[in-house]
Amino acid sequence: MSGEQRESLMVQVAKRYYDLGMTMGDLARELGLTRWQASRLLTEARETGIVRIEIMPRAPRLPALESRLQRRWNLKEAVVVPTGGESDERLVLNAVARAAAQFLAGLGRVPLIGVSWGRTMSAVAAHLPPFWNEGVEVVLLNGAMNIRSPSVRTNNTAELFARSANGTATLLPVPAIVGSAATRLALEQDPTIAGVLELGRRAPVICFGMGTIAPDSVLVQSGFVTEAETAALAQKGAVGDILSRYVDAEGRIVDAEIDARTIALDLGLASGRDLSIGVAAGRAKHAVARACLHAGYLSALVTDEETAGLLLADADAG
């Protein structure tokens, strides 16, 4: 078969498959081919550019960038929203939170979901549509009983998630970080607290934000760590917190003493689920998002265009 004849056959296969909606078996019979031959011609048509597939989501997304993130970081899914160079952190967070809410609502019926708390997750909750997962049970993955009350309440995420779905919230009514490791152990041995932590370990889908290592982080603003402790953590290499646990650039715990006082899902249990969804909005979240990806704590990422570009640059440099 000449090159021209093969190209003509590729066009015939592609037209029948994409434009006429024929099955591979039907078009193969019509053209006198085997299913394998028809499939190979269709693959070749895509590889040579005779067929070009363009994904055009109705919601503002960047599918090409998403696919690159998935390949580079071995993700099940990625959602990247365009920001057009927007520098206002509030607007970027709003766009990413809306995309994360749409992604969660599109999962369908999931009976049990674990969530973290904080500014990012509160923003996600605000964008969830009514009855997005009717009857869902939402369990909090890290302690959220604040020592101080910040100007904007961010510790009621599980309640907001459940309320919008007409579901139920199972809370973790303890501080994220307590005064001593002995206190943490005692609290975790309480049957009620132990039951909540076990429920979190069983959740097939979890969704969490990521905190920065900064004086305005929710852990500082809520009174769990001091600014001096934050500065000391940064000197030890901390790039942020995941589920209230401070990590370095590789996703490793940076301070064993503080971690021993932290009541939250163990980071080693973040993976191995149907979906472990991380939400990171803005350049400031780049370092902790990279740590999370590097350690394999998540299988899906929702982020903005600039942060996605930085994460791809990291992968190229590595």
Residues 122 and 238 in one domain: yes
Residues 30 and 72 in one domain: no
Name the pLDDT band for 196 (thresholds 50, 70, 90): very high
Residues 43 and 178 in one domain: no
User: Could you tell me if residue 283 is inside a domain?
Assistant: yes
Residues 166 and 287 in one domain: yes
Name the pLDDT band for 287 (thresholds 50, 70, 90): very high
User: Could you tell me if residue 220 is inside a domain?
Assistant: yes
User: Could you tell me if residue 52 is inside a domain?
Assistant: no
Condensed to tens digits (0 to 9), the pLDDT of residues 210-244 reads 999 988 898 998 889 999 999 999 999 999 999 99
User: Is residue 148's pLDDT more than 70?
Assistant: no
User: Could you tell me if residue 57 is inside a domain?
Assistant: no
Better-predicted residue by pLDDT, 207 or 48: 207
User: Is residue 150's pLDDT more than 70?
Assistant: no
Residues 244 and 308 in one domain: yes
User: Could you tell me if residue 176 is inside a domain?
Assistant: yes
Domain count, the chain: 2
Residues 229 and 271 in one domain: yes
Residues 42 and 78 in one domain: no
* Amino acid symbol at 102: Q
User: Could you tell me if residue 53 is inside a domain?
Assistant: no
User: Could you tell me if residue 58 is inside a domain?
Assistant: no
What global pTM score does this model have? 0.81
The region of weakest confidence among 52-61, 216-225, 234-243, 309-318 is: 52-61
Question: What CATH number is associated with residue 11?
Answer: 1.10.10.60
Q: Which pLDDT belongs to residue 8? A: 86
User: Could you tell me if residue 116 is inside a domain?
Assistant: yes
- CA pair distance 259, 263, nearest whole angstrom: 8
Query: Once rounded to an integer, what is the mean pLDDT over residues 185-205?
Result: 97
Residues 235 and 265 in one domain: yes
Expressed as residue numbers, the domain containing 221 is 63-317
User: Is residue 56's pLDDT more than 70?
Assistant: no
Mean pLDDT of the chain: 91
Residues 170 and 222 in one domain: yes
CA atoms within 13 A on the CB side of 274: 13
Name the pLDDT band for 57 (thresholds 50, 70, 90): low
Q: Which pLDDT belongs to residue 4? A: 81
Residues 21 and 141 in one domain: no
Question: What CATH number is associated with residue 130?
Answer: 3.40.50.1360
